[in-house]
Structure 1
Amino acid sequence: MPAFDTGVVGRRNLCRLDRFAQFAVVAAYEALADAGLCAADWDATRVGVVIGSGMGGVATWEAQHARFLTQGPQSVSSVMIPKLTPNSAAGEVALACKARGPSFAVSTACASGATAVAAAKDLLTSGQCDIVIAGGAEAASTPLTVAAFSNLGALSRRCAEPAAASRPFDSDRDGFVMAEGAAVLVLERAEHAAARGRRPRALLAGCGSASDAHHPTAPHPEGAGAQQAIRAALLDAGLASGDVDHVNAHGP
């Protein structure tokens, strides 16, 4: 796996954090710096964390299972469980940022990050939090996971043209390309940001979600669930479809 800058995580913490949690902590620090915030600036009990992940610490699962099989039960790491649980990224972000409000994970496959942002909005509008650190983190580019996705028929097989393998809206597409990383946002109510003199980068106007109850992995052929979620988001935002200038789609 390629290296990334783990300096802000701290070398002493690397052994107890799965890669997806490392990504989340680094992204959270970057988001807070961009927002002009630090732990000294807030009431920690009013700061929440919601980090989504579809797979959690899958690399830890694989590595520790291999050790179990080859070296026996006593070789399994004592920090295996806290490293691999899907909520470990949220917990580590809360620890790193001294956030003492609600801290939890959401897992809705490829929508986990978006679901986390929607959950953060609920924490703000309900009055439970003044600030929420929210986003998604994933580090599932492991041999077992790649093999499973490949056998599912989900991955591109355009191995001779790797630069052209990811082509989600092309009529000749043949699957997606595995990747890893994290994206984290700092969300707060508009009046809270204004009170500290910050101009927000964007407004989260509304959220919507739905299930089409059609198939374990394939979407409804007529996009019924997507339509329902979009209508709910527009209603929540008080907008019409004609007000939308850009659509960012799930692209496999």
Structure 2
Amino acid sequence: MKGNKDLRRFSREIRALTCEMFIKRKDGHIGGAFSIVEAIATIFGKYKRKEDYFVLSKGHAGPSYYASLCLLGYIPKEHICTLNEDGTILPSHPDRTRTPGVECTTGSLGQGISEACGMAYGLKVQGKKGNVYCIIGDGECNEGQVFEALQFAANKKLDNLIIIIDDNKKQVDGFTSHISCDFKFKNILENFSFYTQEINGNNIEEIDKAIENCLKQKGKGNAIVMNTIKGYGIKYFEDLSACHHVNFTEEQLVELQKFVDETRRELK
């Protein structure tokens, strides 16, 4: 298992490789892909075992998922900059039939959390070991299917399921509180009887501790509410009001390349 210093390095590598994908593509869902990088790095760099499963319910954040799989050797490097091209193994949203290492096809928002519940329940009824990690978006919680899945997980006491909400406060049309409502996720999840923690989701140490705590719990579902910054890791995009999906300008491509170059120098 990697220490937190290694996980911070891994997260930096994931973000830089994701930048390279965006530079080649010249567009992409940078906001939500960047806000979950530290969570991806911690799950894959320290906790996920062979018997575990990972579900990226907010499938549009796939680029950072692909970057982590590439760095771990699942995806050949020559494919990493073919994001969403014709014939690619890296479609816009994760597809388990096309991408090595992807275990669950997602993309239709709300669907992934239901799949994760089914996987966790399946492990339970078969008496198999293994945990299911599922990342969902705050905007994704507009979908009623999310709350149906939470009811199922609570009823079945799926303590082998860790639901991680990326609460970056924004969705495609603007602030989540303006488009839908100001979700009080911790209150909601605790009312569903989940063991719930609210953390800084861009902080490796807090993510690490939260997952460790979840793995000690028995008899109820687990939820981690991550307060994150959309576009986290590059200040230019953190400050950009609309960074859900970006058609990158030349200036923005320079910012991405600058981060890649700085990362390569620092990690050399």
Same fold (TM over 0.5): no
Give the TM-score, by structure 2 length.
0.32
Q: Which has the higher relative contact order, 1 or 2, with Cα contacts under 8 A spaced 6 or more apart?
A: 2
Higher helix share: 2
